[in-house]
Amino acid sequence: MDMEFVSELAIEGDTRIVLVVVDGLGGLPDRSTGLTELEASNTPNLDALADDSVCGLLIPVGRGITPGSGPAHIALFGYDPLRYIIGRGVLAAIGAGVDLEPTDVAARVNFCTVEDGLVTDRRAGRLATEENARLCALLNEIVLDGAVAHISPEKDYRAALVLKGRGISPGVTDTDPQRTGLAALPCEPVPGAGEQARNTARLVNEYVLKAREILADRYPANMIVTRGFSCLPDVPAVTDLYKMRAACVASYPMYRAVGRLVGMDVLETGDRFEEKVATVARYWSEYDYFFIHHKPADSAGEDGDAAGKMRAIEEVDRSIVGLLSLDPDAIVVTGDHSTPAALRSHSWHPLPLILKSRWERPDDVMEFGERSCAKGGLGAFPSRELMALLLANALRLEKFGA
Amino acid sequence: MDMEFVSELAIEGDTRIVLVVVDGLGGLPDRSTGLTELEASNTPNLDALADDSVCGLLIPVGRGITPGSGPAHIALFGYDPLRYIIGRGVLAAIGAGVDLEPTDVAARVNFCTVEDGLVTDRRAGRLATEENARLCALLNEIVLDGAVAHISPEKDYRAALVLKGRGISPGVTDTDPQRTGLAALPCEPVPGAGEQARNTARLVNEYVLKAREILADRYPANMIVTRGFSCLPDVPAVTDLYKMRAACVASYPMYRAVGRLVGMDVLETGDRFEEKVATVARYWSEYDYFFIHHKPADSAGEDGDAAGKMRAIEEVDRSIVGLLSLDPDAIVVTGDHSTPAALRSHSWHPLPLILKSRWERPDDVMEFGERSCAKGGLGAFPSRELMALLLANALRLEKFGA
């Protein structure tokens, strides 16, 4: 069942859908307590909501597959994450706040250390973000013959390079050798690519050469490597697909960018969850669908900080009542992927999910947790099937067939 | 896993399969009791069967997708409902009892009201079925240049138009503007369609023009609109696919037609469930597979009549013992789709299912209900996978691979 099929059934309506994404929500049991971060959190409001709803588990991409934020979110909006690929370069650029145009080519850049012609540290001694920004400013003096290059700092040693110009293409290879002890590679057109890719490879090699000259005395950040050349994917807008006015309520640049990529209006809001709830309330009559993104649970998980992740979840719990008081026709609370503190990274584990709607069959689940939701009435299902379920509960899908 | 794959493994056998389809079986909880129609029904025999069986949930087409009767049934017989599409016109025609030929083109017709050139009521004041039949008799006087047209009354304001002739095709657009306040549309060939579609569009426009003349003084039914032009899909027969003699035990024309469409023998039977059980008993030795269809639960659900739906379910319960006494090798009791009285329409919700076979693992489910079956041993799975499961339990599928 693909997105186009759902799209053909979608109709307009005077109903409201809310999707709350607690980034990195899913976790693993703590060795001593035996409880996941969510299970150990104090969440009276989410527990009451689970008690009054139907619950289940979401599988972001596939069993055993750990998704990045791009595919994890794309799937929540109903897109096949294996078909709509957001390239690494594009994700870096939109994460760095760049407003990419469809013809731009973007790449992820690492500042790195080169000694005797070999890459000896692909992170340039975990360069400080401030130094990264200073080096990017220097590199933005580079003038190319036939394109405009702009590099934007991300966190630590990472940056995003964007090429603008006519006759360029993402069909070129990485210069990043991926391992230390090897020389940086020349950028080459991928096999079968045409003239535009040859031109792009020439531009990239010219850029890297000039960057190397500028960085020569900046040891350990005396070189750059590039990878993941990509363009904005041609993503049909959720507004067209699902005939709804859609708003993205996120404060982190990358998630705002993902929202914009799928055609949502991106609203100004704050970092705190209660500020996002206030934003939704303010725009309640102007949109049919609200995607609310809350970042701190993921960040804490990545840091191995279970207590911090619990605080982030409890912050959502405290303000969820404000969302419910708006009386959405369908509201889901879930995550994009798991980020167990025990792993300090994204993981493949399914996400717990609450779906509250007057048109569902409440189940026996009485609290919001990974293992309670595993027994929920919706069972486990792919994230990309959630959108149709939300639209159905908002009575925004017509019957299929006679 | 497609039908062709299952077909390659299918073998003949001396075993019996029974599929009981309680139309519109699934429901939603009543506001006051918290119970669905099925959960509130008095079903001692179905509960005993559930206790002694393995249970689960069927997803007719996909999560969130509300199916029409066509796709919902096609899936139960193992066909991909997105691949084998029964057009609206075809369904109208077979529902009206027309014996369609593969080259016929059928359309759904609405009698409607036109004032000052605009459609003001797409149901002609909810025309009475008897008047509908009289108007169809008048319209059957129409003679076309190059094809034969025949219109058959359905219920209320609905009818089915069938065109027979050489050089016609279903590749033409609707004349139904779908909304009031608009003029009826001219029938046109769909983009890219060929000469046959152009010819068909000409015939349809000629027919509509003549119908308008005949109906001119029949206000409010002074015009027709047409939609869903389609031909019989080319459906491989279940008898060939699964190497079984298959019987359809249904009394409603549409379900008898669907049975015929997939290659079943359609047996004469009555409206009451016990009559259908008697029909199965009578033909027990002559068929390997019996599809029993029971309509009233769906009709009551469409009327918002929860008590009527309960009575329809309890009627099945009373006679199910007669089926079990025939000792089928595999018997399933389920529905085609949900029709909650609370929604007064088909819905997207999964269907509860009981599978009784000596070759399954009985689970903990002790009563037949949506939420009890959600905890069943089979889990939730697509309707189209049921056929292989039934064949397996009748020991009619060979091992795949060595």
Domains of chain A: 3-84+235-393 (3.40.720.10), 90-230 (no CATH)
pLDDT digits (tens, 9 = 90+) for A265-277: 999 999 999 999 9
Determine whether the interchain pair A401/B82 forms a contact, defined as Cβ–Cβ distance below 8 Å.
no
Please name the helix (run of DSSP H) or strand (run of DSSP E) that holds residue A304, with its range, or none.
none
A264 three-class SS: coil
pLDDT digits (tens, 9 = 90+) for B317-345: 999 999 999 999 999 999 999 999 999 99
- Report yes or no: A375 at the B interface, CB cutoff 8 Å: yes
Determine whether the interchain pair A401/B66 forms a contact, defined as Cβ–Cβ distance below 8 Å.
no
- Report yes or no: B24 at the A interface, CB cutoff 8 Å: no
- Average pLDDT of A98-108? 92
| B159–chain A nearest CA distance, Å | 14
pLDDT digits (tens, 9 = 90+) for B262-284: 999 999 999 999 999 999 999 99
Determine whether the interchain pair A401/B375 forms a contact, defined as Cβ–Cβ distance below 8 Å.
no
Please name the helix (run of DSSP H) or strand (run of DSSP E) that holds residue B85, with its range, or none.
none
A400 three-class SS: strand
Phi-psi region of A200 (alpha: psi -120 to 50; beta: other; left: phi over 0): alpha
pLDDT of residue B88 exceeding 90: no
Rounded distance between C-alpha atoms, residue B59 and residue B53, angstroms: 19
A312 pLDDT tier (thresholds 50, 70, 90) = very high
- Average pLDDT of A293-316? 97
- Report yes or no: A398 at the B interface, CB cutoff 8 Å: yes
Provide the b/e sequence for A251-288 (b: ≥16 CB within 10 Å): bbebbbbbbebbbbebbebeeebeebbbbbeebeeebb
Closest CA to A90 of A75, A69, A119, A76: A69
Amino acid B251 reads S
Alpha helical stretches, state H, A80-127: 88-95
pLDDT digits (tens, 9 = 90+) for B101-112: 889 999 999 999
Chain A residues whose beta carbon lies within 8 Å of the beta carbon of residue B373: none
Interface confidence, given as ipTM, is 0.88
- Cα A222 from chain centre: 30
pLDDT of residue A215 exceeding 80: yes
Could you say which of B71, B342, B345 has the minimum Cβ distance to residue A400?
B71
B401 pLDDT tier (thresholds 50, 70, 90) = very high
B95 pLDDT tier (thresholds 50, 70, 90) = confident
Rounded distance between C-alpha atoms, residue B224 and residue B208, angstroms: 7
Determine whether the interchain pair A401/B108 forms a contact, defined as Cβ–Cβ distance below 8 Å.
no
- Average pLDDT of B63-69? 96
- Report yes or no: B186 at the A interface, CB cutoff 8 Å: no
In sequence order, the 6+-apart residues with CB closer than 8 A to the CB of A300 are: A24, A306, A307, A308, A309, A311, A312, A341
B362 pLDDT tier (thresholds 50, 70, 90) = very high
pLDDT digits (tens, 9 = 90+) for B210-265: 999 999 999 999 999 999 999 999 899 999 999 999 999 999 878 988 998 899 99
- Average pLDDT of B29-49? 97
Secondary structure (DSSP) of A189-247: BPTT--HHHHHHHHHHHHHHHHHHHHTTTSTTS-EEEEEEEE----PPPHHHHHT--EE
Closest CA to B342 of B34, B23, B61: B34
pLDDT of residue B1 exceeding 80: no
Tell me the pairing of strands B289-294 and B158-164. Answer: unpaired
Percent of chain B with pLDDT over 90: 89
In sequence order, the 6+-apart residues with CB closer than 8 A to the CB of A383 are: A58, A59, A60, A61, A72, A75, A76, A81, A336, A351
B205 pLDDT tier (thresholds 50, 70, 90) = very high
| The predicted structure's pLDDT at residue A1 | 74
Q: How far is CA B30 from CA B44, B305, B345, in A?
A: 21, 11, 15
Closest CA to B367 of B333, B328, B390: B333
pLDDT of residue B127 exceeding 80: yes
Test the A interface: residue of B227, B346, B348 with most A CBs within 10 Å: B348
- Average pLDDT of A304-330? 98
Rg over CA atoms, chain A: 23
Percent of chain A with pLDDT over 90: 90
Chain A residues whose beta carbon lies within 8 Å of the beta carbon of residue B36: 361
A99 pLDDT tier (thresholds 50, 70, 90) = confident
Amino acid B209 reads L
The token duo for A80 is 């096949």
- Report yes or no: B58 at the A interface, CB cutoff 8 Å: no
A50 pLDDT tier (thresholds 50, 70, 90) = very high
Test the A interface: residue of B30, B58, B63 with most A CBs within 10 Å: B63
Q: What are phi and psi of B52, to 5 degrees?
A: -100, 15
pLDDT digits (tens, 9 = 90+) for B134-180: 999 999 999 999 899 999 998 889 999 999 999 999 999 999 998 89
B362 three-class SS: coil
Rounded distance between C-alpha atoms, residue B42 and residue B38, angstroms: 8
| The predicted structure's pLDDT at residue A103 | 93
Helix, strand, coil tally for chain A in percent (to 5): 35, 20, 45
